[in-house]
Amino acid sequence: MPRYRRCREKFQSALRRLAVAEGDVRERLRGAHWFLRQLSEHEIPPELRKEWTEVLQLLTARGPDVAPDGTVYSNAVVHTLSGMRNSTGRRIAERIYMMVRALG
């Protein structure tokens, strides 16, 4: 089994979601995040780990939307993307694309 095969598969699935899924870039990023978060750090090539971590952090930066009583209205990804500008989402999508290219 080739090294980083699972990583390539998940990144390819994320890229496909970004390219052909319905919705604006923020909605497509939500789908891409689903694939990228399934990976563990040891499954990512060392040279891409920092970039992968940063992208995941950008997609969850605002944290979950939580009421004072602890009720969660939306998870961190949904909450973050709901307030994200389309241009910011496009830049994150471009970073994912560049990681896929680096994976070969």
Q: Is the pLDDT of residue 1 over 50?
A: no
Which one, of 101, 99, 2, lies nearest residue 53 by Cα? 99
- For the record, the structure tokens of 43 come out as 């499954």
- For the record, the structure tokens of 75 come out as 């998870």
pLDDT per residue as tens digits for the range 58-94: 999 999 999 999 999 999 999 999 999 999 999 999 9
> Taking the CB of residue 38, how many other CB atoms lie within 10 A of it?
13
pTM: 0.91
